[in-house]
Amino acid sequence: MLEVYRLAFLCSIFYVNVDCAPFPEYIVYPKLLEARGTNGQKVLHIKDGLTLTLEKLSVLAGSLVFTESNDGVPTETIMNGTELEENLYQDREKMAAVAVEGIDGTIEVLGVLNDKLRIAPLPLMPRSEEG
């Protein structure tokens, strides 16, 4: 009987560890589609089944102080909040917040797509035929 409890305990530990594992990574090629609506919304197609309707995001003050610690020494940098949020967008319905930047005829997207998905560029990877 003790062996049954041990097996059940080990199975529960295994299940918890597998259940907490990170989601697999996918390579996607986002496309910025034509703007729709009069309020400047943009449509960003991430992959089949995931398209964001983006609107400008304004959450930062005009200027803000960024503090970082290097070897215990705090360094403060004053940053232009207006400039930082220049490329910030949100999709209220899907609760996404992303930075979209156009570089050399392509776009780079960095941010949160939903409660389980994040997106970041792969800068060291050459472009494929798909994107």
DSSP letter assigned to residue 126: P
Exposed/middle/buried for residue 98 (C-beta within 10 Å: 0-12, 13-18, 19+): buried
Which pLDDT tens digit goes with each residue over 30-39? 888 876 655 7
Which pLDDT tens digit goes with each residue over 48-72? 999 999 998 887 778 888 888 888 8
Dist. CA 79–CA 67, nearest whole Å: 10
Look at the pTM and tell me if it is higher than 0.75.
no
Other Cβ atoms within 10 Å of 52 Cβ, number: 25
